[in-house]
């Protein structure tokens, strides 16, 4: 509901009139923000509590082409709520230019705009804000011969911009040691398993890490940072790049481990 409709103007109170004027101005700024309406073309489960959402940008080519780097994000609004949700763009930038779509991996959280979004269907119209953020500056870990080791860490829906990075290409096949540590509660909550084979073919070794695995799980268990400590191999910190996205505690602990090992903080890429 508009802020303006909640304002009560009282006479003989200049201070209150001033506050009311400021509130009106703020409401106008919010109402005149650039929002692009676009229909949904896909809403389907990706994993437990996670959904694939695709937005058709056929009528918004300028917005589509504004996605220039993996790791960028935008705000999305749904008809039933004025509160936007911040979503990382999961598809690589080239897909928007070629097919006119943005793809997202959305975690459905009770009571949130994301939950409302995941309850919509094909053809429903949402509103998108402009593409924001600098994304992952992969130029900082180029050329591949100077940075043969790239360590990638993601948890939960944080895999979304990592998918964009892998599928947009960062010369993984020209590097000797590219590893993705991907953490989730269990396999039922791990999205993009159907893409693992293609990612590995592109030069990325995938290490799934489950914090609450089933009894028959034979892979890494616990938290991503603990799995990395256990599996840490000898590498040259001066020729190592790092990409992080996910839970704050994970990103902070991984950063501390790698900086202590001599990896330059300038070579640790984050999308925020």
C-alpha 174/C-alpha 147 separation (Å) is: 10
According to the model, what pLDDT value does residue 32 have?
52
DSSP structure class, residue 147: -
Q: 112 and 52, same structural domain?
A: yes
137 close to 165: Cβ distance less than 8 angstroms = no
Spatial CA neighbour of 152 closest among 168, 166, 131:
166
On whether both 120 and 181 belong to a single domain, the answer is: no
6 exposure class (CB count in 10 Å sphere: 0-12, 13-18, 19+)? exposed
Instruction: Tell me if 80 is assigned to some domain.
Output: yes
The two structure tokens encoding residue 36: 């692009």
Domain assignment present for residue 15? The answer is no
- The alpha carbon torsion through 66, 119, 196, 213 (nearest 10 deg) reads 140
- Position 271 scores a pLDDT of 77
Q: What is the pLDDT of residue 202?
A: 96
* Beta-carbon count within 10 A of 268 CB: 21
Shared domain for 142 and 121, answered yes or no, is: no
Shared domain for 109 and 143, answered yes or no, is no
Give the pLDDT confidence of 189-214 residue by residue, as tens digits. 999 999 999 999 999 999 999 999 99
pLDDT of residue 16: 42
R_g over Cα of the chain: 21
Q: Which of 109, 132, 155 is the last residue of a domain?
A: 132
153 within domain boundaries: yes
In a domain, 10, yes or no: no
Within-domain flag for 1: no
* Residue 96 resides in a domain: yes
The residue with tokens 């039922």 is: 188
Residues 263 and 142 in one domain: yes
Q: Please report the pLDDT score of residue 235 as a whole number.
A: 78
Structure tokens at 263: 């990896």
For residues 231 and 138, is the Cβ–Cβ distance under 8 A? no
Range(s) of the domain holding residue 208: 138-269
Among the candidates 132, 149, 178, a domain finishes at 132
Q: What parts of the chain have a pLDDT lower than 70?
A: 1-33, 234, 272
**Overall domain count for the chain:** 2
CATH number at residue 166: 3.40.50.80
Asked if the structure places residue 84 within a domain, the reply is yes
Is there a single domain that holds both residue 98 and residue 171? Answer: no
Kindly state whether residues 96 and 212 are assigned to the same domain. Answer: no
Q: Residue 215, exposed/middle/buried by CB under 10 A (0-12, 13-18, 19+)?
A: exposed
Which pLDDT score is estimated for 2? 39
pLDDT of residue 3: 39
Q: Is residue 251 part of a domain?
A: yes
- 79 plus 170 within the same structural domain: no
142 plus 258 within the same structural domain: yes
Same domain, 156 and 86: no
Q: Which of 67, 99, 132 is the last residue of a domain?
A: 132
Q: What is the CATH number of the domain that holds 66?
A: 2.40.30.10
């Amino acid at each position: 509901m508009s802020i303006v409709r909640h304002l009560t103007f009282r006479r003989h109170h200049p201070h209150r009139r001033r506050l009311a004027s400021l509130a009106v101005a703020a409401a106008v700024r919010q109402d005149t923000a650039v929002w692009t309406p676009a229909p949904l073309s896909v809403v389907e489960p990706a994993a437990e509590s996670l959904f694939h959402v695709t937005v058709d940008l056929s009528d918004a080519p300028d917005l589509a082409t504004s996605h220039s780097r993996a790791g960028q994000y935008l705000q999305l609004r749904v008809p039933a709520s004025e509160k936007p949700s911040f979503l990382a763009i999961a598809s690589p930038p080239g897909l928007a230019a070629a097919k006119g779509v943005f793809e997202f991996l959305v975690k459905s959280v009770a009571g949130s705009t994301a939950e409302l979004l995941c309850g919509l269907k094909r053809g429903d119209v949402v509103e998108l804000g402009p593409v924001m953020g600098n994304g992952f500056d992969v130029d900082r870990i180029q050329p591949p011969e100077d940075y043969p080791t790239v360590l990638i860490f993601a948890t939960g829906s944080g895999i979304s911009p990592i998918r964009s990075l892998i599928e947009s290409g960062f010369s993984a096949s020209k590097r000797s040691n590219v590893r993705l540590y991907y953490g989730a509660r269990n396999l039922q909550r791990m999205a993009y398993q159907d893409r693992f084979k293609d990612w590995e073919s592109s030069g990325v070794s995938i290490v799934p890490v489950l914090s609450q695995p089933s009894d028959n799980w034979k892979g890494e268990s616990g938290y991503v940072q603990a799995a990395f400590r256990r599996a840490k191999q000898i590498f040259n910190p001066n020729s190592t790049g790092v990409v992080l996205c996910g839970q704050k505690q994970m990103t902070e602990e991984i950063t501390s481990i790698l900086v202590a090992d001599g990896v330059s903080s300038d070579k640790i890429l984050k999308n925020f």
